[in-house]
Structure 1
């Protein structure tokens, strides 16, 4: 039996989201295409949410939700649709930099505000595992449709769908057409031509999209990151892995993010980074209860290279006086990998110290030499 996550119509919360401008018809046209269907898998939304500018929101409210003409209510009655939550409260008006309703998208700042607003709405809805989204990019300005589609690409899940609605000629050009009526309903076209809306045909063109959600750190999935920040995180997650090591500042740059590491974990990472730079073989861990002098020496070399500003290393040297044992190694390796996963999310994989996945365990950093760079000359530290 197919997994319910692959069947959007089985989700308890089903949301139709659209951007609209001065043509609110796309809402009823898309709803008709989704819900008025002979198949058992018709996607009948439980909620409809619109994203628009101030003037677009007002036109949608008057055309769709008023008593007359109230085209959304007419469609629901004509086809006996179940209750769908759609009201002025589910029409989201984009805001300008001052928090006022956006009149139109005319400047770079308007563009940025629209992108952030649309991305935030999609991020919020996709955080609910019990909902499926159907996103229509048929209405609004082209930039709004682009941002809506791209936001779904960033955050979308398997149950979420993207579409564009197509209306047959000559109805596509009519501002009076809202959906194919079940009974004859005559419309006057520009030029005086009369047509029957019952003869209209609507096609929903589903648009496949590549989901980048798996490449985003958890903080971006649950936080309030901007559109640009989210796109940048996805870009770095998909880019070839590169590691930049700044010994003086005791920080690294990985997957486009710069962050510090504690000295002990920094030194351990540097051990493996230098070996990867030199093309050296993976290393076994120190034995559990048998201190290893070679491991102690290579580790202390790296620790001294970053500890000069920290002062005395006598405590660490004393703890490792007989060598490094497996307990010390595994504790700091676990902490290092935990920090990398926390900071980089799904992009952490290439930067983790791997045990090779089979016995006997051999540890290494899997990056190619050209992907590793130190911010000081290689000769400054001898390994």
Structure 2
């Protein structure tokens, strides 16, 4: 049996089948059969990778790659599949933090180590923009399948796929079954079981839709999937689980543990909005245009003194707030620069930190500003007291 259309991926790169397995390497041949033989049009991988434990790796080598039975090679021969890169080097053994092979996955530390190994390989295989990864979660411990599915959600691209393979119920518990053969092959029964013909088996491939979160990850984690837990935290934060910490003495702000470099005036403006949110104050209206908005100056000076201390306010801003002149230009300019700095940092790719609102009591054209957070997401550390006037601008 020959295959004509073996590639329905528009890209010119690799087509990679990635499976997690335990002591049942059959899921590899079953999935390959479903993709390359029953799928229309056929999808034949150019490479196959397995993620498994040490015991699973030994079993996979014996059952799939040996001269006998060598079920992977036999499947390719039976269905005249084109060359597929798959040898012992493509069987990746899960390891712990010391690089020692995991014999099995039994406790929390094993789960954590396995998750990191899966994340590393998925991150590596999805780095090539022209490749396509088809991941199967059918084998191995349930946690392995979960971690592979989650890793695909974190690093998967639009062209990547996730699936689970199923076989006819009578064949599920038969360790001698690896795929439906194009000829009769008897699988002997044991302990009261009937003998079966492998040619009569049916295989189904269930496509699993998944949410793709790759774009919310910081570039460092997107390109190097080294730590599963870090990637999960980064995705959660990018989607709304945000923490903003102000270290007021050092004039430093951390958004999701990343330091955002801000000039003093922009730092003060962000601290001002955060302080008002913490105190339950309404959104800060913009100063009136082209007039001396003394009420606004007094309000901002009061709140900045409360959150930074009088001597923690940047000198240039302190002077402007005490001068009887319009401040709308300064406010709009510094706000724009602040928003640009946050966006450029990449820590919040999917949301605005500063939102615009309209106060019911204000004019229809007058905007107000507040942080798009909850008060508990903001932390102020080391509120300074009279520590000397800062002469920075």
TM bucket normalised to smaller: 0.7 to 0.9
Match for residue 279 of structure 1 among 277, 282, 285: 282
Structure 1 unaligned blocks of 5 or more: 1-6
Contact (CA 8 Å) 1:46, 1:83: kept in 2 or not?
A: yes
Instruction: Show the counterpart of 1:130.
Output: 130
Instruction: Show the counterpart of 2:79.
Output: 79
Are residues 228 and 285 of structure 1, via their aligned partners in 2, closer, same or farther at CA, if it must alter by over 3 Å? farther
1:21 is paired with a residue whose SS is: coil
Instruction: Show the counterpart of 2:4.
Output: none
Matches of 2:311 and 2:183 in 1, distance apart?
A: 83
Are residues 274 and 143 of structure 1, via their aligned partners in 2, closer, same or farther at CA, if it must alter by over 3 Å? closer
Matches of 1:294 and 1:244 in 2, distance apart?
A: 29
- Measured after TM superposition, the shift of residue 173 of structure 1 is 1.4
Instruction: Show the counterpart of 1:49.
Output: 49
Contact (CA 8 Å) 1:241, 1:350: kept in 2 or not?
A: no
Say yes or no: does 1:235 pair with 2:239. no
- Measured after TM superposition, the shift of residue 239 of structure 1 is 4.0
Contact (CA 8 Å) 2:95, 2:114: kept in 1 or not?
A: yes
Instruction: Show the counterpart of 1:306.
Output: 308
Are residues 174 and 334 of structure 1, via their aligned partners in 2, closer, same or farther at CA, if it must alter by over 3 Å? same
1:7-22 aligned at under 5 Å gives the runs 9-12=9-12, 13-22=14-23
Matches of 2:188 and 2:214 in 1, distance apart?
A: 47
Instruction: Show the counterpart of 2:101.
Output: 101
How many residues matched? 367
Are residues 340 and 350 of structure 1, via their aligned partners in 2, closer, same or farther at CA, if it must alter by over 3 Å? same
So what's the TM-score if we normalise by structure 2? 0.78
1:140-155 aligned at under 5 Å gives the runs 140-155=140-155
So what's the TM-score if we normalise by structure 1? 0.80
Are residues 30 and 154 of structure 1, via their aligned partners in 2, closer, same or farther at CA, if it must alter by over 3 Å? same
Contact (CA 8 Å) 1:333, 1:353: kept in 2 or not?
A: no
Matches of 1:259 and 1:218 in 2, distance apart?
A: 15
Matches of 1:216 and 1:178 in 2, distance apart?
A: 38
Are residues 177 and 245 of structure 1, via their aligned partners in 2, closer, same or farther at CA, if it must alter by over 3 Å? same
Are residues 322 and 76 of structure 1, via their aligned partners in 2, closer, same or farther at CA, if it must alter by over 3 Å? farther
Instruction: Show the counterpart of 2:339.
Output: 337
- Measured after TM superposition, the shift of residue 50 of structure 1 is 0.6
Matches of 1:98 and 1:122 in 2, distance apart?
A: 20
Q: Deviations over 1:135-175 (max 9, x none)?
A: 11111112211111111122223322211111113222111
Matches of 1:368 and 1:199 in 2, distance apart?
A: 59
Instruction: Show the counterpart of 1:367.
Output: 372
2:77 is paired with a residue whose SS is: helix
Contact (CA 8 Å) 1:153, 1:211: kept in 2 or not?
A: yes
Contact (CA 8 Å) 2:258, 2:347: kept in 1 or not?
A: no
Higher mean alpha-carbon deviation, 138-147 vs 340-349, is at 340-349
Name whichever structure is richer in helix by fraction. 1
Are residues 100 and 39 of structure 1, via their aligned partners in 2, closer, same or farther at CA, if it must alter by over 3 Å? same
Contact (CA 8 Å) 1:243, 1:373: kept in 2 or not?
A: yes
Contact (CA 8 Å) 2:273, 2:371: kept in 1 or not?
A: no
Contact (CA 8 Å) 2:119, 2:225: kept in 1 or not?
A: no
- Measured after TM superposition, the shift of residue 113 of structure 1 is 0.7
Task: Please report the RMSD computed on the Cα atoms of aligned residues, expressed in angstroms.
Answer: 3.7
2:335 is paired with a residue whose SS is: helix
- Measured after TM superposition, the shift of residue 194 of structure 1 is 2.4
